[in-house]
Amino acid sequence: MAVPTDNAFSGPYTANGVTTVFPFTFTAPTASEVAVLVDGAEADGSLYTVALNSGAGGSIAFYTAPASGTVIIPVLDPLFTQDLEFENGSAWLAEPVNEGYDRSALRDQVLKRDIGRALKAPIGDEGLEFGTVGEGQVLAKVDGKVRGINNDPAFAEDAAQRAASALADTLTAKGEAEDAKGGAEQALANAETAADNSSGFADDAREARDAALATGGMLQKATYAELAAVVGTAGQIASVLSSDTGTHTDPVVGGTVSNAGQYSYSVSPAGWRWRNALESKTPRMRRPLLRLRLLKSRRRSMSWGGQRLACCPSSTAIFLPQPR
């Protein structure tokens, strides 16, 4: 036969406490050259049977289903002996020759499987030399050898404390996230309430505007066009903002007037009569300073605003506020 596969194990499979049959896909020369690892240890051959498929693959059948959670790994376990022997002058037969080649390939696959999981030294290095490794020790290179050293209890305790602290931080973060979620939901509810309230406030504002119009209250519009569209009450006062720089014909007394300004409503003839421009505040100008230059060197005095001032030598200038 040929060897169409290149794997030397199948799985791992996790038992569910019910399943008893576990398949494998590697090539095995005989059923006795298939082993099973159960939780990393080789299982007794009396606990299962092996069935081979034609060509490659097969299955493991346990008499009793492995316990739930157990890890099952079928592995190739070929013989490492060579039983083929040819006599001088005997007839050449292809079958035993092929069997020898097949077994050689299967042993190579097993070696590759196991060596691939081993500690390795870089190519060109002399390799690793191992010293004694005790139970519970960790590996470290000491004096050129890989030896077992004891775990530092203080380090282990510190690691445990850090793990506990990390767990506490995780629980705290979870609580904060839940609080934030609750806060977000409350904020959404508040926003919806505010939206409802704002709608009510808008209705109140419209009612207040209508009431102001009905009672002759002050009315203010951004443009004259907006004001002209409003039917006021007799004597009602209104204004148009100074941003409206246009003009129009006064509907009450005639003549061209500015759009911006203060108005009063006339019933007959009906319309808004322009009264006067809007008051504007002119910033108070600073009083200019009077610069005096004394031309003579001797000290002098002079009168300023009803007060006598002592002057300084020549070439000296003083600045005084100019009287109103």
Instruction: Clarify whether residues 45 and 101 are in a common domain.
Output: yes
Say yes or no to pLDDT of 113 above 70: yes
Say yes or no to pLDDT of 322 above 60: no
Give residue 110's domain range: 13-115
Q: Any idea which of 73-82, 205-214, 230-239, 288-297 has the lowest mean pLDDT?
A: 288-297
Q: Of the ranges 82-86, 149-153, 267-271, which is most confident? A: 267-271
In-domain check, residue 204: yes
Say yes or no to pLDDT of 309 above 70: no
In-domain check, residue 285: no
Length of the chain: 324
Closest C-alpha among 216, 256, 255 to residue 236:
216
Instruction: Clarify whether residues 172 and 247 are in a common domain.
Output: no
For residue 143, the model assigns a pLDDT of 75
In-domain check, residue 317: no
In-domain check, residue 287: no
Round to whole Å and give the CA distance between 214 and 217: 8
Q: Average per-residue pLDDT in the chain?
A: 81
Round to whole Å and give the CA distance between 247 and 251: 12
In-domain check, residue 302: no
Closest C-alpha among 187, 250, 20, 33 to residue 9:
33
For residue 41, the model assigns a pLDDT of 95
Round to whole Å and give the CA distance between 12 and 37: 9
Work out the angle at residue 192's Cα, subtended by the Cα atoms of residues 189 and 196, and round it to the nearest 5 degrees.
140
Average pLDDT on 124-153 reads 78
Say yes or no to pLDDT of 283 above 80: no
For residue 314, the model assigns a pLDDT of 47
Round to whole Å and give the CA distance between 179 and 224: 54
Task: Work out how many domains the chain is built from and give that number.
Answer: 3
Instruction: Assess contact for 256 and 247: CB atoms under 8 A.
Output: yes
Say yes or no to pLDDT of 120 above 70: yes
Say yes or no to pLDDT of 315 above 50: no
Instruction: Clarify whether residues 19 and 60 are in a common domain.
Output: yes
CA–CA distance from 7 to each of 25, 27, 320 (Å)? Answer: 8, 8, 107
Instruction: Clarify whether residues 42 and 93 are in a common domain.
Output: yes
Q: Per-residue confidence at 273, pLDDT binned at 50, 70, 90? A: very high
Round to whole Å and give the CA distance between 218 and 263: 10
The two structure tokens encoding residue 306: 């009803």
The two structure tokens encoding residue 115: 């060596």
In-domain check, residue 76: yes
- The 3-class secondary structure across 200-213, one letter per residue, is HHHHHHHHHHHHHH
Number of helical H runs and strand E runs in the chain: 3, 19
